[in-house]
Amino acid sequence: MTSNVETAPAERQAAVEAAAYRIRQHALAMGEVQGQGYVGQALGAADILAAVYADQLAFRPEDPEWDGRDRFLLSTGHYAIGLYAALAEAGIVPVEELETYGSDDSRLPMSGMSTYTPGMEISGGSLGHGLPIAVGLALGLRARGNPARVVNFLSDGELDEGSTWEAAMGAAHHRLGRLTAVVDINALQADGPTAGVLRTEPVADKWAACGWRVQRVDGNDVAALLGAFDAIAAEASTYDGGRGAPAVILCDTKVGRGVPLLEEREKAHFMRIEEHEWAVCQDQLTAGYRGPAEAGPAETQTRAKTQTREKVAQ
Amino acid sequence: MTTTAAAPKAPKLKTSAMIASFADPGQRTSPAPFGHALAELAERDERIVGLTADLGKYTDMHIFAERHPDRFFQMGMAEQLLFGAAAGMAQAGLVPFASTYSVFAARRAYDFICLDIAEPELNVNIVGGLPGLTTGYGPSHQATEDVAIFRGMPNLTIVDPCDAVDIAQAVPQLAAAPGPTYLRLLRGKVPAVLDEYDYTFELGKAKVLRGGRDVVLVSSGLMTMRALQAAEALAAHHVDVSVVHTPTLKPFDEEAVLRELAGDRLAVTLENHTVVGGLFETVASALVRRGRGTRVVPIGLPDSFLEAGALPTLHDRYGISKDRIVERVLAELG
């Protein structure tokens, strides 16, 4: 098991919340470079990304290809801004490089691609691809005797895609107990609210009917996220050779979370933010994290990640 | 309309099974060459795995599954999952062969093959049954445009084998090639033809199977078998025919094919595929690029949805039977 399970819950939660704060700072900084972008999604998913990278995944920052690493597959290519921030937080991508986001010749393109970025396991963007690939990766790792976990991050919009459900059935059929899907339910798609684009509810029932273990949490509540991951780990520890039901965490999140200016703005898939608003966003983020008394100039520091968390073979 | 005395009618041929045989009566065949070749390769290479989308029995994958049950993965009738998962398995260090019908690979799963497999250049080997006109079930099963669809996909190697010999020799080379491949599978009792020639399959190479002074037939897939039969038949008409077999359609062996098309012999392409976007256009574009004005006669399937029926009937109707090829060549020669 990962060593973090033994860490006191309050400390774990604080560490993940701090990571989420830094991920949001990075995302806002990258958004400012572009002047617009998928900042709303990155802010909404920051707690999930922080829980995954600061608490859950085993990886080696200096060796992103390490065979024993847990695999994190980002289906939603446009969330790359969030993942780059998380990869910087994880020490896989240098923080200084984040300012190249979306620029010519950058390793950090607007839509995430595995061939561009260290630590990016797949090319997302064409939605509904992540879970099918995750199924094959989990099957392949198990066939090779590698106990690494596979985590697929997907969006509620991807539940429109038939391939997601092909893969959901396949994962349960093949008893991929080391596969976890994390669904970001921000209730927003390119053409508007999910409920009006294509009704996906009851989401939990659908996954359960496909044979998955389902938990639904507030995806912006770090304690709830960690609890969900812990429950999965506890159940998976009883699986023989990793064979058992795959798990899904349905995460209800808020677009723009952590920055009231954006939380209250009319929700848009591609959010426009005026030039003068970026500093306000950073200030509001810091005020929310630190409390109003400590609100000040936006910080750019990041935690130096020197430790590698490795998983003892299960 | 005049009525004549009832002449004895030949019995109408039947469509027969989903995968009807295109072998000629009495022709030497080999059973399930793909399945046996893959099973044997897996004995030597532990990275080999097999996947299918509910068509294991119909793509000869069942032979592999019986020999290596722990390395066979049934993905269900879910082609997007099949190829997405094959990509994931390749990322985990395995060498997957994933089989379905060509129509489903090309039409249903294109996005998954393109982005999950071809773009990252993963070693996934796509095995498509019923290429071209090898079933009488109609357009739902006839992959008459699969090469046209796949030729535009960067990084993808496309192989159109002639017979059991080609398939057996191709399988290890497909696995050894670092990037993705697409094999136009011939399954069941597959004719064995090429072992009668001084021939070995080499990925990426075209081979001259026989020389001839009057006509050059450039062919791939089962049409090479027909080309060889037509060449024999044309000899009786004192027409001397060369046959160039180009089982790798992409990357295309331009050097070998264009070398053979030099001179003033009648040039003919033969393909089990629509004349749009396949071998004919590959040869034509290579000629044009080099400023060569050679006229090329395309023998292939028409640019239309084909009818249902028995394969011999349909091959004759659409001009890819031996007799129709002979007729066409003689007509072109005047």
CA distance B66 to chain A (A): 17
In a domain, residue B21? The reply is no
Q: Are residues B231 and B328 in the same domain?
A: yes
- Whether residues A129 and B91 touch (CB distance < 8 A) is answered with no
Give the C-alpha separation, B175 to A9, whole Å.
49
pLDDT tens track for A158-192:
999 999 999 999 999 999 999 999 999 998 888 88
Give the C-alpha separation, A106 to A186, whole Å.
29
Cα distances (Å, whole numbers) of residue B92 to A129, B206, B236: 16, 34, 57
Using CA of residue A26, residue A28, residue A33, residue A39, what is the dihedral sign?
positive
In a domain, residue B10? The reply is no
Q: Are residues B99 and B218 in the same domain?
A: no
In a domain, residue B126? The reply is yes
pLDDT tens track for A235-288:
999 999 999 999 999 999 999 999 999 998 877 777 788 899 999 999 999 999
pLDDT at A90 over 80: yes
Q: Are residues B79 and B158 in the same domain?
A: yes
CATH classification of A3-294, choosing from 3.40.47.10, 3.30.1330.10, 3.40.50.970, 3.40.50.261?
3.40.50.970
Give the C-alpha separation, A69 to A65, whole Å.
8
Q: Are residues B66 and B141 in the same domain?
A: yes
pLDDT tens track for A21-37:
999 999 999 999 888 77
- Whether residues B116 and A129 touch (CB distance < 8 A) is answered with yes
CA distance B87 to chain A (A): 6
Q: Are residues B219 and B147 in the same domain?
A: no
CA distance B274 to chain A (A): 29
Confidence of residue A4 (pLDDT cuts 50, 70, 90): low
| Domain-terminating residue out of B149, B165, B191 | B191
pLDDT tens track for B189-227:
999 999 999 999 999 999 999 999 999 999 999 999 999
pLDDT at A147 over 80: yes
Of residues B88, B119, B120, nearest to A137 (C-beta): B88
Q: What is the pLDDT of residue B14?
A: 82
Q: Are residues B324 and B178 in the same domain?
A: no
Mean pLDDT of chain A: 90
- Mutation target among A111, A150, A163, A174 for the B interface, most CBs of B within 10 A: A163
The pLDDT of A116-143, averaged and rounded, is: 96
Structural domain for B67, as ranges: 29-191
In a domain, residue B257? The reply is yes
pLDDT tens track for A53-71:
999 999 999 999 999 999 9
- Whether residues A123 and B89 touch (CB distance < 8 A) is answered with no
In a domain, residue B132? The reply is yes
Lookup: tokens for B155? 């990084």
**Low-confidence residues of chain B: pLDDT under 70:** 1-8, 17-19
Provide the number of structural domains found in chain B. Answer: 2
In a domain, residue B199? The reply is no
Q: What is the 3-state secondary structure (H, E, C) of chain B?
A: CCCCCCCCCCCCCCCCCCCCCCCCCCCCEEECHHHHHHHHHHHHCCCEEEEECCCCCCCCHHHHHHHCHHHEEECCCCHHHHHHHHHHHHHCCCEEEEEEEHHHHHHHCHHHHHHHHHCCCCCCEEEEECECCCCCCCCCCCECCHHHHHHCCCCCEEECCCCHHHHHHHHHHHHHCCCCEEEECCCCEEECCHHHCCCCCCCCCCEEEECCCCEEEEECCHHHHHHHHHHHHHHCCCCCEEEEECCEEECCCHHHHHHHCCCCCEEEEEEEEECCCCHHHHHHHHHHHCCCCCCEEEEEECCCCCCCCCHHHHHHHCCCCHHHHHHHHHHHHC
Contacts of B119 in chain A (CB under 8 A): 113, 115, 123
pLDDT tens track for B15-73:
776 667 888 888 999 999 999 999 999 999 999 999 999 999 999 999 999 999 999 99
Q: Are residues B312 and B177 in the same domain?
A: no
List chain A domain ranges. 3-294
In a domain, residue B14? The reply is no
Q: Are residues B234 and B274 in the same domain?
A: yes
Give the C-alpha separation, B192 to B165, whole Å.
6
Q: Are residues B153 and B75 in the same domain?
A: yes
Helix A162-173 crosses helix B79-91 at what angle (to 10 degrees)? 60
DSSP symbol at A47: H
| H or E segment and range at residue A251 | strand A247-252
Q: What is the pLDDT of residue B252?
A: 98
Q: Are residues B115 and B221 in the same domain?
A: no
Q: Are residues B172 and B38 in the same domain?
A: yes
Q: What is the pLDDT of residue B4?
A: 53
Give the C-alpha separation, B334 to B325, whole Å.
14
* CB-CB neighbours of B137 under 10 Å: 16
Interface predicted TM-score of the whole assembly (ipTM), two decimals: 0.92
What's CA A154's distance to the chain center, in Å? Answer: 8
In a domain, residue B18? The reply is no
| Domain-terminating residue out of B191, B216, B242 | B191
Contacts of A123 in chain B (CB under 8 A): 115-116, 119-120
DSSP symbol at A151: E
Residue B56 belongs to domain with CATH number:
3.40.50.970
| Domain-terminating residue out of B191, B212, B234 | B191
- Whether residues A129 and B112 touch (CB distance < 8 A) is answered with yes
CA torsion A179-A184-A185-A189 (nearest 10°) is -120
Give the C-alpha separation, B82 to B130, whole Å.
18
Contacts of A170 in chain B (CB under 8 A): 75-76, 78, 81, 85
Cα distances (Å, whole numbers) of residue B282 to A153, A263, B120, B143, B262: 42, 55, 25, 18, 16
CA distance A120 to chain B (A): 12
- Whether residues A170 and B94 touch (CB distance < 8 A) is answered with no
Radius of gyration, alpha carbons of chain B? 20
- Whether residues B89 and A140 touch (CB distance < 8 A) is answered with yes
Q: Are residues B210 and B147 in the same domain?
A: no
Q: What is the pLDDT of residue A189?
A: 85
